[in-house]
């Protein structure tokens, strides 16, 4: 099997906000469904704050939690103390899960540090500009291109309209 690809799965406002006070500043059920579909059966890498924000290990996926705290424990999750260890554990789990992808699910600190490793970014762009204290990093247009965009009106239980957008790294030949 080839090396699994590293995908990012994120919902962000038009102002790049992804969180406020350790929660997402909107309720968009359509995004939660998409999150489930994109992460199902895969190893997921997340920061300790994101794990605590979710509040539990999500079923049908393996959770790898990154923290600097050597005493940190969470039942059902793999705890690691560096991003290198997180990616190594995720690769190992991808083999046993027969998954060809590893999902990085945030938050801001983790997205920023792993951006150079990402093979694909799945963004749910929430059409709102909420206040927040966690941001998704800027994507350098010289490095990343928008591959697809699909606009959606707010469905039932969605606070806002949104778009599903995918970014991929520009082919190395295109990078100046």
Ligand X SMILES: NC(=O)c1ccc[n+]([C@@H]2O[C@H](COP(=O)([O-])OP(=O)(O)OC[C@H]3O[C@@H](n4cnc5c(N)ncnc54)[C@H](OP(=O)(O)O)[C@@H]3O)[C@@H](O)[C@H]2O)c1
Binding site for ligand X (CB under 6 A): 10-12, 18-19, 22-24, 47-50, 53, 66-69, 81-83, 105-110, 113, 134
Q: Which long-range contacts (CB under 8 A, 24 or more apart) does 82-91 make?
A: 83/45, 83/110, 83/113, 83/114, 86/45, 87/6, 87/45, 87/114, 87/117, 89/43, 89/64, 90/4, 90/43, 90/44, 90/45, 90/64, 91/3, 91/4
Handedness of CA 65, 91, 120, 162 (dihedral sign): negative
Query: Which CB sits closer to ligand X, 69 or 150?
Result: 69
Closest distance of CB 28 from ligand X, Å: 10
Closest distance of CB 142 from ligand X, Å: 24
Closest distance of CB 66 from ligand X, Å: 4
Closest distance of CB 84 from ligand X, Å: 9
Cα 46 to chain centroid distance, Å, stands at 8
Query: Which CB sits closer to ligand X, 55 or 176?
Result: 55
Handedness of CA 79, 133, 27, 123 (dihedral sign): negative
Query: Which CB sits closer to ligand X, 138 or 174?
Result: 138
What is the distance between the alpha carbons of residues 96 and 84, in angstroms, rounded to a whole number?
Answer: 19
Query: Which CB sits closer to ligand X, 42 or 48?
Result: 48
Query: Which CB sits closer to ligand X, 53 or 170?
Result: 53
Closest distance of CB 23 from ligand X, Å: 5
């Amino acid at each position: 099997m080839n090396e699994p690809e590293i995908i990012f799965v994120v919902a962000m406002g038009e102002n790049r906000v992804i969180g406020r006070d350790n929660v997402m500043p909107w309720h968009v059920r359509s995004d939660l469904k998409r999150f489930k579909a994109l992460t199902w059966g895969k190893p997921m890498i997340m920061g300790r704050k994101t794990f605590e924000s979710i509040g539990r290990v999500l079923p049908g996926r393996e959770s790898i939690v990154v923290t600097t705290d050597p005493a940190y424990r969470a039942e059902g999750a793999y705890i690691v103390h560096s991003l290198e260890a997180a990616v190594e554990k995720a690769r190992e789990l991808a083999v046993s899960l027969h998954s060809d992808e590893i999902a990085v699910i945030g938050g801001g600190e983790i997205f920023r540090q792993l951006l150079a490793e990402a093979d694909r970014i799945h963004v749910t762009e929430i059409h709102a500009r909420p206040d927040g204290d966690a941001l998704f990093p800027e994507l350098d247009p010289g490095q990343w291109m928008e591959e697809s965009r699909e606009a959606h009106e707010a469905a039932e239980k969605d606070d806002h309209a949104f778009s599903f957008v995918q970014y991929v790294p520009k082919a190395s030949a295109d990078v100046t």
